[in-house]
Amino acid sequence: MWKPGREKTDIMQTETSQKIAVLERLGAYLGGGGTEEEQESLERAKQLAYQHNGWFTPEFINLAISNIRTYFLNRPALEQWLAQYPGFGQPAAPKKVGIVAAGNIPLVGFHDWLTGFLSGHAIRLKLSSKDNILLPHLLQKVAEWAPEAAAATSVQEVLKDCDAYIATGSNNSARYFNYYFAKYPHIIRRNRTSAAVLTGSETPQELEALADDVMLYFGLGCRNVTKVYVPEGYDFAPLLKALEKYDYLAEHHKYKNNYDYNLALYLLNSSPYLTNNSLLLHENESLFSPLSVLHYGFYRHRGELEEQLKANPDLQCLVAADAIPFGQAQRPSLTDYADGVDTAAFFASL
């Protein structure tokens, strides 16, 4: 039996399916599909992004793209994700949603855009000056394949007159965002980082995987492990050995400058440290560590430690044998929301 509004619902569901098809095509494009000319344009965008921001090395740009293609841009994953939000992509009255993107790692704002793209709302993007080449390139491809769907997204220098906001930045900028966006529906994200809990019984393979969690993207992501907790009497030699996997990062001048600076500080202050000549290990209470430094701390009762960590508002990921597996912190799925705030539910609520 036909019911009022059913025709509109069917149309919206078709539009969502078409958007998913476009995202599938984008995934294929990022995986090497498309014409030779298209692949050359993608390579040029990567090169420009690296020239613009020296932290965006070809290796880490390719890693970010590979993760997006693998975990975000395949139909089964997208359909399973959207099935958790009945009616998603079918807003009664589409809103204008402003997104202030971060720029700490390549394409870090892609998930926010992806969610907004599928939500049916109009997206206004303010990109970080550190990461303003790769995402516009991908948006251009979407516009070529699906002009009507892409028209709901625009990149802007200043966000104003939006109905809702998502903003990611430092603790200082979060205070600014909270002030200006207080009267609108919003998600405000601040500094976060990740930690790992070790028992001392980890295999060499697990420690090498942990090295990925620490060192990928130079450790600049909120999902990077910046502190490890170890039992008293822990032998750091196997961990330092595993971290040698990323010794080559010390050849990167920006990273090496940070390493030399922090090493000089520890020497001048007679502060104890461990090193494998590419990363410094320093005992410190803070979850946040400087670039090129991994903090560590000791624990006696693991259960108590993990309860404290899970209650810590600064913690994004907890890596451990019985938590996020070693090596998986920088491989988020569609449901691994930044700051633990469900972005899809936010869009659905507007």
Q: Are 317 and 194 in contact (CB under 8 A)?
A: yes
Regarding whether 182 and 47 lie in a shared domain, the answer is yes
Rounded to whole angstroms, how far apart are CA atoms 94 and 122? 7
Q: Look at residue 2 and tell me whether its pLDDT is greater than 90.
A: no
Give residue 13's pLDDT: 64
Specify if 34 maps to a domain.
Answer: yes
* 277 token code pair: 């000549």
Give residue 306's pLDDT: 84
Residue 284's domain is classified under what CATH number? 3.40.309.10
* 2 token code pair: 């036909």
Q: 98 pairs with which residues across the strands?
A: 124, 165
Give residue 29's pLDDT: 96
Regarding whether 116 and 100 lie in a shared domain, the answer is yes
Rounded to whole angstroms, how far apart are CA atoms 79 and 334? 11
Q: How many degrees, rounded to 5, is the angle at CA 261 between CA 131 and CA 275? A: 100
Give residue 12's pLDDT: 54
Give residue 85's pLDDT: 96
Give residue 8's pLDDT: 47
Give residue 15's pLDDT: 87
* 18 token code pair: 């078409």
Specify if 330 maps to a domain.
Answer: no
Rounded to whole angstroms, how far apart are CA atoms 248 and 155? 36
Regarding whether 226 and 113 lie in a shared domain, the answer is no
Regarding whether 217 and 118 lie in a shared domain, the answer is no
Rounded to whole angstroms, how far apart are CA atoms 335 and 350? 19
Rounded to whole angstroms, how far apart are CA atoms 333 and 76? 13
**Token match 């007679």: residue?**
270
Regarding whether 131 and 61 lie in a shared domain, the answer is yes
Specify if 329 maps to a domain.
Answer: no
Specify if 286 maps to a domain.
Answer: yes
Provide, rounded to the nearest whole percent, the portion of the chain with pLDDT above 70: 96
User: Binning pLDDT at 50, 70 and 90, where does residue 3 land?
Assistant: very low
Give residue-wise pLDDT tens across range 193-222: 999 999 999 999 999 999 999 999 999 999
Give residue-wise pLDDT tens across range 316-326: 999 999 899 99
* Domain limit, last residue, from 191, 225, 245: 191
Specify if 93 maps to a domain.
Answer: yes
Give mean pLDDT, residues 32-38: 89
CA 62 to chain centre: 14
Regarding whether 211 and 169 lie in a shared domain, the answer is no
Regarding whether 199 and 91 lie in a shared domain, the answer is no
Regarding whether 308 and 276 lie in a shared domain, the answer is yes
Give residue-wise pLDDT tens across range 5-34: 445 445 556 889 999 999 999 999 999 988
Specify if 310 maps to a domain.
Answer: yes
Decide: helix, strand or coil at residue 296.
strand
User: 47: which residues sit within 8 A by CB, 6+ positions away?
Assistant: 58
Q: Is 307 exposed, middle or buried (0-12, 13-18, 19+ CB in 10 A)?
A: exposed
Regarding whether 64 and 39 lie in a shared domain, the answer is yes
* Domain limit, last residue, from 173, 191, 209: 191
User: Binning pLDDT at 50, 70 and 90, where does residue 154 land?
Assistant: very high
Specify if 86 maps to a domain.
Answer: yes
Regarding whether 139 and 233 lie in a shared domain, the answer is no
Regarding whether 181 and 284 lie in a shared domain, the answer is no
* Domain limit, last residue, from 129, 160, 191: 191
Residue 50's domain is classified under what CATH number? 3.40.605.10
Regarding whether 263 and 205 lie in a shared domain, the answer is yes
Domain containing 24 equals 6-191
Give residue-wise pLDDT tens across range 254-305: 999 999 999 999 999 999 999 999 999 999 999 999 999 999 999 999 889 9
Specify if 64 maps to a domain.
Answer: yes
| Domain count within the chain | 2
Average pLDDT, the chain: 94
